[in-house]
A and B are shown apart, each in its own frame.
With several copies, the nearest count.
Chain A
Amino acid sequence: MSKVMTMKEAVGRLVRDGDLVVMEGFTHLIPFAAGHEIIRQGRRDLTIARLTPDLIYDQLIAAGCARKMIFSWAGNPGVGPLHAFRRAVEKGTPRPLEIEEYTHFGMVLRFMAGASNLPFLPTRNYPGTDLTKVNPAFKQIRSPYSDESLWCVPGLRPDITIVHAQRADNEGNTQVWGLYGVQKEAAFASQRVIVTVEEIVDASVIRSDPNRTIIPGIIVSAVVHEPFGAHPSFVQGAYDRDNDFYVAWDAVSKEAGGLKAYLDEWVYGVPDRAAYIKKMGARVRELQADTQMCAPVNYGF
């Protein structure tokens, strides 16, 4: 049966105060619209996990939604620092932020271990880094096949994972192309999953290319139709990354006041993503992707 609902319903029903929340997407497909709705609904004491917190978690931190962050690279890609994150860590404003820090490889392995229902996964990474000294979650084991020691990271099991994708059917069978990031692993590791998509398609479209499905409907709790839901990040084949927005964010967020003004105008000041798009005006069209279609393949037998 259909799992389609509005963003307000999906976040209202499935994201709870105190949850371990994951909104993944490596540069590509970052679910900003979902993040804004979480801020509007005033969720509190969240533990937020992502490889790259990016602007979406900088905004959650500034809005006071987060108690703790699990991450591997907290910057504004190609631009500079995340100012709200730095204020929370360096000055404890608007509230102190507990951090648990890994590397990209470590976070990917944490999601894969969680998704595989394993307590941990091993890696040859981490000898010599000070990260293992400041984060006790890194532990060493001895290989039963040699005298080698390997570092391990623990499986991560989010309460809720939210991903944005190009398309899904109304049961949540979800297809992505372009950069995959770790959305599949995060979704399988999670107790609940919300998928927000540019387009809800008939199951026959999904079934015409089953190798593209990264998240099956059987693990999805809600499907939200949210065009432009990843802005200012991008959606391959739909719209470009809004690099000007990322560059401008440095000045916007440098002072707490500027960031609050942004939230007042663009998050609290609009009821939903539709209003956000309307407010953006012509810029939306400027970001529209050109067309470069793939060569189709035959699934017949």
Chain B
Amino acid sequence: MADYTTSELMVARASKELTSGDVVFVGIGVPSLAVNLAYRMHAPGLCMIYESGAVGCVPTRLPISIGDPCLVTGSLAVVPMLDVFNLYLQNGKIDVGFLGGAQVDRFGNINSTVIGDYAKPKVRLPGSGGACEIAALAKKVVITINNSKRTLPERVDFVTSPGYLRGGRERESLGLSGGPDLVITDMGVYRFDPETREMVLVSIHPGITLETVRANTGWEVKAAADLQETPPPTPKEIKIIRDELDPQGIFLRSRAG
């Protein structure tokens, strides 16, 4: 087994979605690591924005919350949250937003609110935070989540953050542009069919079989005709992640592949 963890592979894969000049709405965990990896590897010109109001951040340590003081010190701007949402996000200045959640369904809708009924929840989750507006208003969304029947159901229990809703042109019909572009799980990478807007497996991680993916997805998942193998992280990427980005392994604890 190669010396990298699945999380490290996910981080490396996510980082490749970013290009220099992108204005990126960063979250905590894998997204934060992916953006910082891209910044060091191939996208020195990208601009990190956190919903807490920090713009052009240069964190000197791994932020454990989106409001960490290290995001403020040395940043290019720190602005009121009213501006973050009105002038940056709603005004179309955010190129890429990263999102996770408890459930993502076949059409890229995300649930981070409740498992079960809203009024009598089986599990009460934290809720939207800024996720709903990022899903609605960022030019493009990248989702990271684990691959299981529980986390990738046919239909989410609650649509916290809109993807393509019930597919086809429903999202556009409600006046929304953008939408989820890519879903990265611990088993593979999915894109969305331009017509049906259904999640389609486009690459599969080394050592994972299509059967495994199908056995762990809540619907009869389609695979792309030219299904690829996800490129593993390079030694340089692994080194940056382990030595610079998450030296204590806070977000990438397990070293087991």
Contact = CB atoms under 8 A, between A and B. Distances in A.
Interface of A: 1, 26-28, 51-52, 71-75, 77-79, 81-82, 85-86, 89-90, 101-105, 108-109, 112, 115-118, 123-131, 134, 148-149, 173, 177-182, 184-185, 188, 203, 206-208, 210-211, 213, 216-219, 234, 236, 240-241, 243, 246, 289, 292, 299-301
Contact of B85 (A79, A105, A126): A105
Q: Could you say which interface size class chain B belongs to?
A: 35 or more
A213 B88 CA distance: 14
B184 interface: no
16 contacts: A78-B64, A78-B65, A103-B129, A104-B81, A116-B86, A124-B175, A126-B132, A128-B136, A128-B170, A129-B128, A129-B136, A129-B160, A130-B158, A130-B160, A180-B81, A241-B68
Contacts of A246: 64-65
B257 interface: no
B124 A86 contact: yes
Given A103-B127, A118-B90, A129-B132, 12 more contacts: A74-B127, A86-B124, A117-B92, A124-B136, A127-B174, A148-B175, A180-B81, A181-B80, A207-B74, A210-B56, A218-B47, A241-B68
Nearest to B158: A130
Main SS of chain A's interface residues? loop
Contacts of B69: 28, 178, 234, 236, 240-241, 289, 301
A210 B77 contact: yes
A109 B62 CA distance: 30
A77 B64 contact: yes
Interface centre among A26, A85, A102, A218 (most CB of B within 10 A): A218
A254 to B, nearest CB: 15
Contact of A207 (B75, B119, B124): B75
Contacts, number: 235
B8 to A, nearest CB: 19
Nearest to A204: B74
A131 B161 CA distance: 9
A81 B74 CA distance: 31
A173 B160 contact: no
Nearest to A28: B67
Given A131-B132, A182-B81, A125 B159 contact: no
Interface in B40-86: 45, 47, 51-56, 58, 64-70, 72-83, 85-86
Contacts of A148: 175
Contacts of A213: 55, 76-79
Contact of B136 (A90, A108, A126, A241): A126
A148 B176 CA distance: 12
Contact of A71 (B53, B78, B109, B127): B127
B79 A72 contact: no
B52 A73 contact: no
A149 B148 CA distance: 37
A156 B64 CA distance: 30
B118 interface: yes
A102 B129 CA distance: 8
Nearest to B92: A117
A26 B64 contact: no
Given A178-B69, A178-B72, A178-B78, A129 B161 contact: yes
A180 B53 contact: yes
A104 B47 CA distance: 21
Contacts of B65: 27, 77-78, 241, 243, 246
A117 B129 contact: no
Contact of B28 (A78, A90, A184, A211): A78
Contacts of B74: 207-208, 210, 292, 299
A140 to B, nearest CB: 11
B72 A299 contact: yes
Given A26-B53, A108-B81, A178-B78, A72 B136 contact: no
